[in-house]
Amino acid sequence: MSRRALVLAVLTGAALLMTAPVSGAAQAAGISSADVVAARSAAAGFQDVLVRFFAQAPGAQAPVSVRIAPDAYPVYELSPDFVAGKPGAVPGGFAYFAVPAVASDGRTATLWSVRDADGAWQIGNIASGDVESAYARKVPPGALLLHEPQVDAWYAVGDGRVTPLSGTAGAVTVADYQRTVSARYADKLPGSVYARDGEAGGYDATAQVMPRGDGGAAPSSHDPGWVPLLILVGVLAVSGAGYVLHLRRNPA
């Protein structure tokens, strides 16, 4: 392998890391290709954690191996400002990237990659199943995947319309959807009597995401701060090893 080829390999690998595809709608909502890469990288160090997660799940009978998918699906959750009808409010705010994982026995789980207080990406939850990826594959190009957690409903939002991703209901305009969720939750928003009384099913805007399944928060002792460098380090290591081999075979 020539020195030029090695340099090209390193540069190409770095370029691929920074150009992972992300929809135009996601970019408009402040999600970049670099965020996709960082969200995926945060999941890369959780192989052992996932093995323990599957081993402790009900019905587990044998040790498993786990494959973390190379996908990171942006998930948006219903916005309190949209429910309240504030001018310019969009239906959902970004909540997390869903990174699917599959065990060798066929069971699935989803890592939720979220931003911490400093803006770094880390795993905030592990949930059973692959709901997000299943629905994300139904979302048309350019649309967003929206979750309405209070009723666990999923929608595609794009071109001024909100389309349910399950059931037989048809698409509605964003304005019609706003009237629907306003009727459901306007009296249950933060600060309402309903919320202050702690009634079950109230609108919880204090949590970034609403947990589902038997998932739980990822172990706080796991430090993912170094993980976003894993892929780049791998590219450099492989290329560097090739260059050393080249020098040994072709001494100056």
pLDDT over 70 (residue 38): yes
Rounded Cα–Cα distance for residues 151 and 143 (Å): 21
**How much is the average pLDDT of 14-36?**
55
In sequence order, what E strands does 61-202 have?
Answer: 66-68, 73-78, 92-103, 108-115, 121-128, 144-148, 153-158, 161-164, 172-173
Q: How far is the C-alpha of 149 from the C-alpha of 125, rounded, in Å?
A: 16
- Whole-number pLDDT of residue 179: 96
> Cα–Cα distance between 249 and 87 in angstroms, integer?
68
Whether residue 39 has pLDDT greater than 90: yes
Classify the phi-psi angles of 59: left when phi > 0, otherwise alpha if psi is within -120 to 50, otherwise beta. left
Q: What percent of the chain has pLDDT over 90?
A: 48
**What pLDDT does 109 receive?**
95
The string of pLDDT tens digits covering residues 156-166 is 999 999 999 98
Q: Mean pLDDT over residues 226-241, rounded? A: 36
CB 195 within 8 A of CB 189: yes
What mean pLDDT, rounded, does the chain reach?
Answer: 74
Domain coordinates of the chain in residue numbers? 31-226
Distance CA 205, CA 80 (A): 7
**Integer distance in angstroms from the first to the last C-alpha of the chain?**
15
Q: How far apart are CA 62 and CA 59, in angstroms?
A: 9
Does residue 66 surpass a pLDDT of 90?
yes
Angle at 158 between CA 98 and CA 88, to 5 degrees: 100
Residue 213 has pLDDT above 50, yes or no: no
Give the pTM: 0.69
Burial class (CB in 10 A: 0-12, 13-18, 19+), 167: exposed
What is residue 51's predicted lDDT score, i.e. its pLDDT?
A: 92
